[in-house]
A and B are shown apart, each in its own frame.
Chain A
Amino acid sequence: MGGSLNANHLLFLGQGALWTIGLSMIALIGGGVVGFLIALARVSPSKAVRLLSGAYVQLVQGTPLLVIMFLGYFGLSALGFAITPLWAAGASLTIYVGAYFGEIWRGCIQAVPRPQWEAAEGLALSRTQRMLKVILPQAMRIATPPTVGFMVQIIKNTSLASVVGFVELARSGQIINNSLFEPFLIYAIIALIYFALCFPISLLSRRLERRMGVGRAKLMPA
Chain B
Amino acid sequence: MGLHLDFSVVLERWPLFLDGAAMTLKLAFIAILTGGAIGTFCAIGRGSSNRFIAGLCAAYVETIRNTPLLVQIFLVYFGLASIGFKFSAFSVAAAALAINVGAYTAEIMRAGFEAIPPSQIEAAEGLALSRVQIYWHVILLPAIEKVYPSLTSQFVLLMLASSVTSQISAEELTAVANYVQSDTYRAFETYILVALAYIALSLVLRAAFWALGQVLFPRRRRLGTPL
Tell me the A residues contacting B by CB distance below 8 Å.
58-59, 61-68, 70-71, 74-75, 78-80, 152, 156-157, 159-160, 162-163, 170, 173-174, 177, 181-184, 187-188, 190-191, 194-195, 198-199, 202, 215-217, 219-222
Contacts and interface: CB of A to CB of B under 8 A. Distances in A.
Centre residue among B70, B108, B177, B191 by max chain A CB count within 10 A:
B70
A182 B104 CA distance: 29
A152 B68 CA distance: 10
Contacts of A187: 71, 74-75, 78-79
A202 B58 CA distance: 13
Interface string B46-82: 0000000000000000110111111110110011111
Contacts of B187: 70, 74, 78
B9 interface: no
Given A67-B194, A202-B65, A219 B161 contact: no
Given A219-B153, A220-B104, A191 B163 contact: no
Contact of B157 (A159, A162, A221): A221
B70 A64 contact: no
Give the secondary structure class of A's interface. helix
Given A62-B198, A183-B81, A199-B62, A191 B167 contact: no
Given A65-B160, A202-B66, 14 more contacts: A62-B199, A63-B195, A66-B164, A66-B166, A70-B181, A71-B192, A74-B187, A177-B78, A183-B75, A184-B78, A184-B79, A198-B66, A221-B157, A221-B160
What size tier do the contact residues of chain B reach? 35 or more
Nearest to B72: A191
Given A71-B195, A217-B111, A219-B154, A198 B177 contact: no
B150 interface: yes
A160 B68 CA distance: 9
B188 A74 contact: yes
Nearest to B111: A217
Given A62-B202, A63-B198, A74-B187, A222 B150 contact: no
Nearest to B103: A222
Contacts of B80: 184
Contacts of B198: 62-64, 67
